[in-house]
Amino acid sequence: MARNKEAMVLLLDVGPSMHGVLQEVKNICSTLLVYNRSDEVGIVLFGTKGTCNDLAKELGGYKHVTVAHDIKVVDEGTAQTLQNLPVGSVPVLDAIVVGLDMVIRKFGNTKGKRRLCLITSAQHPLRDPPEGSKEDQVDTIADQMKKHDIKMECIVFRELGLHHNAVMEENDRLLYQFRNRSVAKVVQVDSPTSLLGALKTKNVLPVTVFRGDLEVSSNFRIKVWVYKKTAEEKFPPLKKYSDKAPPSDKFASHEVKVDYEYKSVVEPDKVVPPDQRIKGYLYGPQVVPISTAEWEAVKFKPEKGVKLLGFTDRSSISRHHFMKDVCLFIPEPGNTKATLAVSGIARAMHQMNKVAIVRCVWRQGQGNVAFGVLTPNISSVNNVQDSFYFNVLPFAEDIREFQFRSFSSLPSSSRPTEEQQEAADNLVKMLDLAPPGREVLKPEFTPNPMLERFYSYLDLKAKQPDANVPPLERCLRRITEPDPDVIDQHKPLIQNLGKSFELKENPKKKKARTQDRLEYVGAGDQVKSLEEPSLEKDGVREVLYPPTENIGEIRDSNPVKDFEAMLAKRSSSTCIQTAIEEMQRYTSVLLENSRDGDNYQKALECFAALRRACIIEQEPQEFNQFLRKIYERLKGRDIANFFQLLSSKNISLISKEEASDSDVTEEMARSFYLKQEGASQ
């Protein structure tokens, strides 16, 4: 059997205890078939009224077990069998033996991937074996599964709140005996949604991404193997299909092949051969050609290996910084020294609440380096070794900081009250999917709704080409929509949130009329507009400025308000920088045009607003450089009183205590004006 092919036998319980979820069983198995179109699949039903299997014919017994579909490549008959599942009345678990017998008869001792998929409620007793105990029978079956390298997945469905009796406990013990013999995986689910996600559609053969040394120091290395623990399940690659081939051509592949031709700009009719082409990269308006040989010469080619850089507290590594897939570091199989070394380090890290920072290059000549964290994974099972989980950490260029304005920067009328804040906090807490005692939508039992929807519709279109997209199924609605039980349980919190906030209709904003945007300033007023147009009439100056929501520059009428409006606009990634630069320009002109300190008060307000904004927006360097430059430019003029005014209002450099990106200490900020005066003298 090919490496990527698999033989699988579905063992489906159709007894009374499964009648409520038979539709979900059909859905999950149909999706499984679409995933595994090239695999060989057999279907065994147990709990049926009739009996149809080879063991019953040859040996007797094995009643109410029906082989509904022999092991063969998936076809329309396989799907049709699943859609016509009978409803049985006497469920038994002899299907395991029947399924095992089917696989052995079909493949014998040949190698390949084979598995049994058992879906049952396990609520009815096993029949007593002719010889020995039930435990002995399980051991005999497990020995045969090991001998023929057959694995089994057992999915036990029992609704939440169901009372466990002695029969169910016995069945669970026998199924877990398979697991203890390392031939089966047992999963218990309590809802149709969990049932849909419990059966894995595809078994991925684990492949190491690295085999080599974990270098702790120059003279201490540990042999480790690294596997991928998780991987993103992606949509299948969709190929272009052509219907241009004649229907009579049985060997037509219907594939669409795309060929590209490169032609010279000078000679449009001439095709440029591959050996005369070179890649070009835009650098501004210029195209820079870089050959393959030049690329190879400048490529970063690190040496293969994993190096330990150091240890740090677990609390210093944020969970939201983890990137990409998770890997598992295990000691080299069969290497006792490596096992002891990994276990010793892992347990010491766990005891001290530490994690390790490592630098990884998985392959020789790899172009990129993985920088990540090792978290100890202490095993609670005797025959399972201690190991490490590896998560990739971001470099500085990978981090995107999203700064949000604090409520304290808003006017008092716009700030939420304590009652409103508490109502919002309670709403967020209500949305917790892992409340104490119960976890909703467990990741290991929750299928990807997009993939499930895609494959389900693909299966429908294969049968009915003109079929429309069906409505969302019940199980997928439980994943994509709010849980009704959670909503009902926290209904008072939701109602309280609505009562805490007054909802008002947002009226349509009309364009402001010209007369509504006039500001009359007395003729004797010394404050002059820097750039805005004005009309002089009868000793009264009329100044026009646009409404706040359309502010694009700082106006003389209310510069601080205009600056805050520009900050709040955020229509592009450069809005913050533009607003800061505009405020700096305005403040500089204001001071340069000041006569006898007439603009000092307004300049002081602008400086305070600019400093406050640079702290909130994490741009301390912008303010600090501006303050230094304007001091250097104006220190020779009669403007010392203004800087004394700034000093008296504690408007100095932004320190590291106020903004983490600043390179100014609190002492440097406090003594800025004193040092400048000393340097001037």
Tens digits of per-residue pLDDT, 548-581? 344 457 888 888 888 888 887 766 667 888 888 8
Whole-number pLDDT of residue 201: 61
112 to each of 70, 80, 148, 207, how far by Cα in Å? 18, 27, 9, 16
- Three-state secondary structure string covering 122-172: CCCCCCCCCCCCHHHHHHHHHHHHHHCCEEEEEEEECCCCCCCCHHHHHHH
Whole-number pLDDT of residue 128: 72
Non-local CB neighbours of 320 within 8 Å, separated by 6+ positions: none
Whole-number pLDDT of residue 572: 66
Whole-number pLDDT of residue 541: 38
Phi (first) and psi of residue 583, to 5 degrees: -70, -40
User: 554: closest CA among 588, 516, 593?
Assistant: 588
Low-confidence ranges of the chain (pLDDT < 70): 1-4, 31-38, 76, 79, 83-93, 199-204, 506-552, 570-573, 636-638, 675-681
Distance CA(481)–CA(464), nearest Å, equals: 28
Whole-number pLDDT of residue 386: 93
Per-residue tokens: 631: 């001091």
User: 625: closest CA among 616, 637, 635, 633?
Assistant: 633
Distance CA(553)–CA(444), nearest Å, equals: 54
Q: What is the DSSP letter of 440?
A: S
Distance CA(535)–CA(520), nearest Å, equals: 10
Phi (first) and psi of residue 620, to 5 degrees: -65, -30
Distance CA(461)–CA(557), nearest Å, equals: 66
Phi (first) and psi of residue 540, to 5 degrees: -120, 130
Tens digits of per-residue pLDDT, 581-597? 888 988 888 888 877 77
Whole-number pLDDT of residue 679: 52
| 3-state secondary structure (DSSP) of residue 324 | strand
Radius of gyration for the alpha carbons in the chain, expressed in angstroms and rounded: 36
